[in-house]
Structure 1
Amino acid sequence: MKICFLAGANSIHSYRWIKFFADKGYEVHWISLVPNIFGNIKGVEFYRFREFPAKPLDILFNAIPVRKLIRKINPDILHAHYAGVNGVLGALSGFHPFVLTAWGSDILIVSKNRLVKLFIKFALKKADLITCDAEHMKEAMIELGADSSKIKIVYFGVDIRKFSPGLRDEKLIEKLKIQNCPAIISLRNFDPIYNLETLIKSIPLVLKEVPEAKFIIAGRGPEEEKLKNFAKNLKVLESIRFVGWISNEELPAYLRTVDIYVSTSLSDAGIASSTTEAMACGLPVVITNTGENDKWIDDGENGFLVGAKNPRALAEKMVVLLRNRILREKFGAEARETVMEKNDYYREMEKMEKIYQNLI
């Protein structure tokens, strides 16, 4: 089977999806408008097209050359990830069978723009099959005109072999200067949608009860300096470690070394990959009750759910966990069981493999 992907080469989600099929021995071609941050992948032919400052220009100037390349490759399956530019380019290629995977913000947020909404409706209409990772995403796409019979739920999945409980990394503890300190980690990027301001607002409240607590805030994005200044103004900067972007290879060590994972996102499609990776490592999680998070976290059983933009509630739940090792261990064990049962990367990709085979 020959598969051609239209997907951003700066996303770990694209990389993991594509690498699975390359590792299975399929002929894989990867088209992207952004640079490949992962380097060469054995069995993958990579093509880069120019990215323009405005999304309509991406479509205008790339539609014909991308169409020509797809025709030349002549794959058995064309699969676009993200219903925006990639989805539209896939739809405009006229190639079939055409699979489209919606990621979340493309449907829930970006499609609120009138022009973008027209583009996305066009891509959804042209797709032979659509995947997403949440029922409310499915409903949103049906409202945009997608055929419900063409939509399948396929999770991005977490590699439960790689992300698993283990010993703390002593070198990392020393590097982060968190010896004898409980540590909380956040892995969402510095964008408004992830609402890291709420996390930083909660820190003084946590420190009042657990003064030695440390916060590992990883990620990148446009609000980085603003958030650092906010932390400085709240006089909590010394309790925070801004560590930048953590590679997927380094991430398991970080998750095994900390005590709690938090996410303050205002919107999620399905459950965030970083949340499931933390759960797979046996970490207790405190996350916002948004999207379908309540289908993965049974509040008080395998984690805590809190309302968005509620720093006091967030702090209270973190303090409860910081003071109760047995509860942390219980939540962590239950969380890993949840992920193993419902969100195994290999099982989800094998599900996708069967979907491809049925389309040919």
Structure 2
Amino acid sequence: MKICYIGNPNDAHAWRWARNLAAWGYDVHFVGCEKRGMGIPPGVAFYDLAERFNLPKIRFAAYGAALFALVRKLKPDVLHAHTAFGAGWPTPMALWRPTALSVHGSDLFLLDQTSVLHRTLTKAALNRADKILCVCDELKNKALELGAPESKLEVIYLGVDTDAFRPDEPDESFHRELNLGEGPVFYLCRMLEPLYHPITAARAFCKVYKENPNVRLLVPLTRAREDLLAEFKDCLAESGALEAVRFLDNVEDDRQMANRYQISLASISLAGSDSVSQSVRESMACATPVIAGDIPAMRASIKDGHDSLLVPMDDPNALAEAMLKLTEDKALREKLSQNALKFVQENCSMEVQKNRLELFYNELAAKKAAK
């Protein structure tokens, strides 16, 4: 089956989706709608719209015209956009059936905070899609609220690759390279963007560092906003905690990403709006519990005090208390780790999700064949 997949080529989750489809035998053609900064997965053909059309004001109109021509050349069984917001915008202009659309947390949860134009383009993509793939029930409910017919909606979450993300001894060379010392390590597993409240995390870490100067924090620089990164560093520097933070470049290899979880006592996720976070699932698959902001989607995904910890949003004191609690309570750490791993093994099997996705695509492809 041939899938034409449009998405941001710098989104690791989009690449994983395309890579997994190719590994499962699909003929995958990835259409990039942003300037590419990552390598192309094996077995995936890549088309760079951003390279061809450097037109900031009207680029998505140009993308729509280019996609219209491309799908008629490729004749895919399914045209699938990785997100409704952004990647989904050119799909109505492609005039191709069948079209699928995936929706993630901020796609819909923060739609009201965007411009009128962006809301219009996103709703047009939702209306045009033959099927809408939601990664959690909360997103399905939000799509219904926005007027999407229930018959279009399907809840499917792509599982975790437990061959790559698994409990394992931390990589000693990685530990030495980062000069982490002997103290506890925490991993801020979300990007430095306002949505993920990094300044709250910085303030909390300053408090933890004051109590335990041996603690370390790993921070990814993937798509980090420069102004927010500067503010983040300034906050840490004020208390002398900047020296205890290690900033990490982007990695494309899942096992290298898994090293970050395996070496950490816990991951921190402070998403103000989210669905079922892939980062949270990957951390749990490595038996690394998560300290997460207390929002509805997280309450539906993890159990506070059972497999992870929930803290109030924008409360650095509560986050610091949770971090210190994990550093001091070995029994709690072991309980959370064991239950986190068990949850992923029982609920996030890649094989189960693969089977559901095959049914999803087969149903769409059958519509094309019936024409």
Confirm or deny a common fold (TM above 0.5).
Answer: yes
1:358 equivalent in alignment to 2:363: yes
Match of 1:265 in 2: 271
- The equivalences for 1:116-131 within 5 A come to 116-131=118-133
Cα separation, 1, equivalents of 2:61 and 2:336: 50
- Stretch of structure 1 that moved more, 28-37 or 154-163: 28-37
* Residue equivalent to 1:17: 17
Unaligned runs of 5+ in 2: 367-371
Aligned-pair distance for 1:52? 4.6
Structure 1 unaligned residues grouped into runs of 5+: none
Match of 2:343 among 327, 338, 342: 338
User: Retained in 2: the 8 A contact 1:213–1:239?
Assistant: yes
> After superposition, where does 1:1-360 map in structure 2 within 5 Å?
1-50=1-50, 52=54, 54=56, 57-112=58-113, 113-220=115-222, 221-222=224-225, 223-247=228-252, 248-270=254-276, 272-359=277-364, 360=366
SS at match of 1:292: helix
The CA deviation string for residues 145-167 of structure 1, in whole angstroms up to 9 with x for no partner, is: 21112111111321112100011
Q: Does the 8 A contact of 2:81 with 2:91 survive in 1?
A: yes
Two-structure CA RMSD over aligned residues (Å): 1.8
- SS of the aligned residue for 2:20 comes to helix
The SS at the match of 1:21 is helix
Give distance in 1, aligned partners of 2:86 and 2:139: 18
Taking a change above 3 Å as real, the CA distance of residues 53 and 61 of structure 1, as seen in their structure-2 partners, is closer
How many percent of aligned residue pairs carry the same amino acid?
29
Change (3 A) 1:343 1:190: same
TM-score (normalised: structure 2): 0.91
Q: Relative to structure 2, which stretch is displaced further, 125-134 or 170-179?
A: 170-179
2:210 & 2:234 partners in 1: Cα distance?
A: 21
Partners of 1:85 and 1:298 in 2: how far apart?
32
Partners of 2:165 and 2:43 lie apart in 1 by: 25
> For the residues of structure 2 that align with 1:218 and 1:84, how far apart are their CA atoms?
24
Alignment partners' CA distance in 2, 1:107 and 1:151: 14
Measured after TM superposition, the shift of residue 84 of structure 1 is 2.4
TM-score (norm 1): 0.94
Cα deviation for residue 332 of structure 1 reads: 0.8
Structure 2 counterpart of 1:236, one-letter code: A
How many residue pairs align between the two structures?
358
Q: Deviations over 1:238-264 (max 9, x none)?
A: 222222334434111222112111112
Cα deviations by residue, 1:49-87 (Å, 9 ceiling, x for unpaired): 135564x61222222221011111111111111112321
Contact 1:13 1:156 in 2 (8 A): no
Is contact 2:165–2:255 with CA below 8 Å preserved after alignment? no
